[in-house]
Each structure stands twice: as structure tokens, then as C-alpha cells.
Amino acid sequence: MLPHIVPVSTRSGDRDFISRIITDPTQAERAKLLNQPGDYVFDSKAGTGAGEAHGKGGRSVSATALTMPALIGNGASMTVAFLGPCGMNTAHVHNRATELNIVVKGRLVTSFVVENGAKPIANTTDAFQMTVFPQGAIHKEFNPDCKDAVFIAAFDNADPGVNRIAQSFFALNGDVVQATLGGVQTIEGEDIESFRSHIPANIALGIDAWLNKCGIKRNAKRDISDLLN
């Protein structure tokens, strides 16, 4: 006989309950607290509030120590990401975990660099192919096609952390950002005509190809200063 289908636990994000789980010294004592139907079940389709991230190119849902307390003490977590056509999971690092990334729908163009002086690694992975991003490595995932892509990322830490490179960099003192970049910031692909002369030719060609392939309309050319404000 199959086990009954149980409702997903409602204790996602329950900080008082999570604190009790963290402070229990043994796995057996933690298991006694995890006594509700669904404590060991996580639904990536439903979304989890704190574990769900949305962007223009897609969304992701993460099972972590915060959103699935049963992971505490087990050294693992997982994210399911849904990338729309030409969607990108922008450059970021996981502060406390190595990532195993497997494509389950579509394709991904992935790249990472471990540290200064290391050679950048880039791959295109098809459905059910996997790549690894070492802990702390700057990496990104890009959907090169005009249909949705889905990938699953597994981590060896219940709290892997995430640090978006661009967002964190631009959070620094404005003078530091200006001195480092000379004023050029990140801009949407639809504005290719406005910033074509400010980026390497191969990147401009790549953006052109993706916009053409997916039928995405370009914005009218504007002064670059308008895009930086």
C-alpha cells in the first residue's frame, strides 16, 4: 500500500520553530519536532514566499533551512529554476556551498570562474546533463532558446547563500563603482542600439542574435546617459 499523499508543511519560514530545530543537539530530537504531515515534503510548483525569487527572465523556488526546516542538520538544499526564452540567472556566487546543476528541460549555457588567475569555464548542457559550480565560484546560467528551460540545483549546505555580483557591486560607494567601471552599468538587451559602441563586438553580436531569434523588439536608440540614470 502506498503512503497517503500529505499536505505540504505550513512551517516554512516559522522562525520560532526553526530556532527550536537548530538548538536541538541531536538528529533524534529534531525528528521528534518534525512530527507534522508534510514536514518532509516540499512543493517546488507552489512557491514558498521567502524561498521564491522572481525576475524578468523567470523564477526560482528554493528548499533551504528557512523554507524546509527538515533540511537543518542534513547538509543539503535544492533550487528549481524556470527560465523563460533568453532568460538568464545572472552572475552570482553561493557563499557556503558547491552547486550541482542538472538541466531537466531545454538547454543551458553555463560559465564560471573559480578565482583570480583561473581559466573561465563555459559549457552548453542539454536535458539531463549536469555541471558543477565550485563553492564561491562566480557563475551564471543562460537559456539560449526561444522556449522555456528548467534546471535543478543541488547544494551541500542547508543554507548555501547567494550573492549577486552586479547588485552587490553597485551597492558599494558610488565613487568606487564609477572609478571601476568608468560609468558604464548593466543595461537590458532591448537597448542594444544605445550601448552597442560601449560593449565588446562579440557581446553585441550575441545579443543581436538572441533578439532576432526570439523576435524581441529593440528599443529606440537613446543617449547612453539616459540609460545610466
**What is the mean pLDDT of the segment spanning 195-204?**
45
Q: Is this prediction's pTM over 0.85?
A: no
Lowest mean pLDDT among 11-20, 44-53, 182-191, 203-212: 182-191
Lowest mean pLDDT among 79-93, 112-126, 199-213: 199-213
Residue 2 vs residue 224, higher pLDDT: 2
Q: What is the pLDDT of residue 198?
A: 46
Lowest mean pLDDT among 17-21, 95-99, 124-128, 164-168: 164-168
DSSP of the chain, one letter per residue? Answer: -PPPP-PPPS-TT-HHHHHHHHH-SSHHHHHHH--STTTT---TTT--GGGEEEETTEEEEEE-TTT-GGGTTS--EEEEEEE-TT-EEEEEE-TT--EEEEEEES-EEEEEE-STTSPPEEEEE-TT-EEEE-TT-EEEEE--SSS-EEEEEEESSSS---EEHHHHHHTS-HHHHHHHHTT-----GGGHHHHGGGS-HHHHHHHHHHHHHHTPPPPPP--HHHHH-
Q: What is the pLDDT of residue 199?
A: 44
Q: Would the pLDDT of 196 be above 60?
A: no
Domains of the chain in sequence order = 44-163 (2.60.120.10), 172-228 (no CATH)
Q: How far apart are CA 84 and CA 146, in angstroms?
A: 8
Q: In what order do the strands lie in the sheet with 138-142?
A: 121-125, 108-113, 138-142, 88-93, 163-164
Which residues on adjacent β-strands are paired with residue 99? 133, 155
| 186 to 28, 164, 168, 199: CA distances (angstroms) | 49, 13, 13, 10
Q: Tens of pLDDT along 126-137?
A: 999 999 999 999
Q: Would the pLDDT of 108 be above 90?
A: yes
CA atoms within 13 A on the CB side of 2: 3
Q: How far apart are CA 122 and CA 113, in angstroms?
A: 9
Q: How far apart are CA 190 and CA 99, in angstroms?
A: 31
Q: Tens of pLDDT along 25-54?
A: 999 999 999 999 889 999 888 766 678 888
